[in-house]
Amino acid sequence: MPTRLRKTRFKRGTRVVGWGRVGQHRKSGRTGGRGGLKRHKRSWMLKYDPEHFGYHGFYRHPSPNSIRRWMNVRDLDELYASSPELFNDEGGVRAIDLSSLGVEKLLGGGSVRGAYKVMVQRATASAVEKIKSAGGTVVLLQAGAAGA
């Protein structure tokens, strides 16, 4: 039924709004009516739903897809020792594409012993410095991402 045809649109200035004697239809029936979990339905709530009010569970982050995958510089030597097939040899320098492994950012934690050519989307300034001091290079796949 459209809102313009409902009974509540009419008789707004009257005392009983179309419900007869004073008091009729005022309390929404005899089984509890509106609201009441903190009032007349409190005993029901305490017995059947005692955890109705309050917060439950862990807070969910508003953007769960913003989690980034990263890798420290110290992990390059371990990665080469465990799976050397991921690396290509380019003139005595081991080359690896970290973005194909799902790594989005190279961090500067730890130290690196070998010379690596690392292709990654983003890298910190300390990671680039450590790779260069070991004789390697860092190729950023996105422009202007150094130190990000």
The model's pLDDT over 16-33, given as tens digits with 9 standing for 90+, comes to 777 777 766 666 665 556
Checking if the pLDDT of 148 tops 60, the result is no
Query: Number of folded domains in the chain?
Result: 1
DSSP 31: S
CATH number where 84 lies: 3.100.10.10
Instruction: Specify if 73 maps to a domain.
Output: yes
Instruction: Specify if 111 maps to a domain.
Output: yes
Q: Which domain holds residue 95?
A: 68-140
Neighbours of 15 (CB within 10 A): 7
Instruction: Specify if 145 maps to a domain.
Output: no
Which residues have C-beta within 8 Å of that of residue 7, sequence separation ≥ 6?
Answer: 17, 18
Conformational region of residue 89, where left means phi above 0, alpha means psi within -120 to 50, and beta covers everything else: beta
Q: Which is more confident, 28 or 47?
A: 47
pLDDT in tens, 81-106: 888 888 888 877 889 999 888 888 99
Taking the complete model, does pTM exceed 0.75, yes or no?
no
The Cβ-side half-sphere exposure at 139, using a 13 Å CA radius, reads: 10
- Cβ-contact 106, 129 below 8 angstroms: no
Instruction: Specify if 25 maps to a domain.
Output: no
Instruction: Specify if 41 maps to a domain.
Output: no
Instruction: Specify if 1 maps to a domain.
Output: no
Checking if the pLDDT of 8 tops 90, the result is no
